[in-house]
Structure 1
Amino acid sequence: MTEVSSRPTHVLVVEDECLIRMMVVDMLKDAGFAVSDAPHADAAWAILEQRQEDIGVLFTDIDMAGSMDGFVLAGRVASAWPHINLIMTSGRQRIPDGEVPDSGRFLSRPYRPADLMQVIRKTI
C-alpha cells in the first residue's frame, strides 16, 4: 500500500511467460498491491482502456509477441495516460532508466523479489 492513500496502488503486470507472471502477481498481492495481469501487450491495452483511472503502475516485459512489444506499449501508455508509472523488464535487453518512456524505470531480469518491491516503491 502507498503511504499517502488508504487504497492500494493498482499494478498491471504484462508478461508472456505464465509462471513469471503468476509469481510477480503473487508477490505484489502479498505486498498489498491491487493487481491485474495480461499475457501480452494487446490484452494489457484492452484492460487499460477499461480501467486506466485506477491503474497506477504498468510493469511490462519488453520482449513479447503480438502487435506491439512492451516498449511500444509503454510509449503508448505514456502518451495516453501519463499518470500511470512505468516499469519495464527484460532478460534479453538492458535499457538505461533514461530511455524508458515517461521517466520510467528498468528492472533487469532475473531479479529478486526485494528488487522488484524496491523499484515499485521508488516508482510510486
Structure 2
Amino acid sequence: MRVLVVEDEPLIRMLVCELLEDEEYTCTQAADAAEALALLDRGLCRPDIMVTDFNLGPGLNGQALAGQALRRLPQLAITFITGNSRAFDEYPLRSWERLVVKPFLDTDLLHAISSLRLGHDHGRPVSSLSPRLQTEPVAMR
C-alpha cells in the first residue's frame, strides 16, 4: 500500500513514515501542499492513501490539499492529522477520510489507516469505526 505523507514538521513527517514503513507501507514524503501536488502531477507518486497535516504553513491547508488531490486521484483515501481538531468542526468527514488528533499513539494512526484499507468505496462507509479518532494527549512512540 502506497502512502503520501504531507507534513511541514520534518520530525513528525519522519516519524510517521518510519511507523508506516515498519508496517510494510511504502511512503513518499512532501513538506507542503505544493510539493505534494507536484509529485502527483509529475506522476512521481500514485498513493492509495494520503496522510496530511491540516496546518501545512503557507499555501493550501490539508483540507484544500485533499480536495485538489481527489481531483487528480478520485479513489484516494485520506487521513488528516492535526493538533487543532476544531478546524474540522464544520468539515463533514466522508467515508474515505479519517481524523487523528495530535499528539497521538502509533496505534491510533495505524487504526485509522487500516480502517481505510478495508476496501473503501467513496459511496459507502467502510467500517463501523467512527471517522473521528481522538486520543488522550500522549506522544508518539
TM-score range, shorter chain: 0.7 to 0.9
TM-score calculated relative to the size of structure 2:
0.74
1:44 aligns with 36
Q: From the superposition, tell whether residues 19 and 44 of structure 1 become closer, same or farther in structure 2 (CA, over 3 Å).
A: same
Cα drift, residue 51 of structure 1: 3.3
Counterparts of 1:81 and 1:32, CA distance in 2: 22
Cα drift, residue 102 of structure 1: 6.8
**Which structure would you say has the larger Rg?**
2
Q: Which among 102, 115, 119 is matched to residue 109 of structure 1?
A: 102
**What is the aligned residue count?**
115
Counterparts of 2:6 and 2:83, CA distance in 1: 14
Give CA-to-partner distance per residue, 1:53-111, whole Å, 9 cap, x none.
73100100011123211110001112331111111111023426x72367411111111
> Alignment RMSD, CA only?
1.9
TM-score calculated relative to the size of structure 1:
0.83
Does 2:11 align with 1:19? yes
Question: Which consecutive segments of 4 or more residues in structure 1 shift more than 2 A?
Answer: 50-54, 93-96, 100-103
More helix by share: 1
Q: From the superposition, tell whether residues 109 and 101 of structure 1 become closer, same or farther in structure 2 (CA, over 3 Å).
A: same
Between the aligned residues of both structures, percent identity stands at: 29
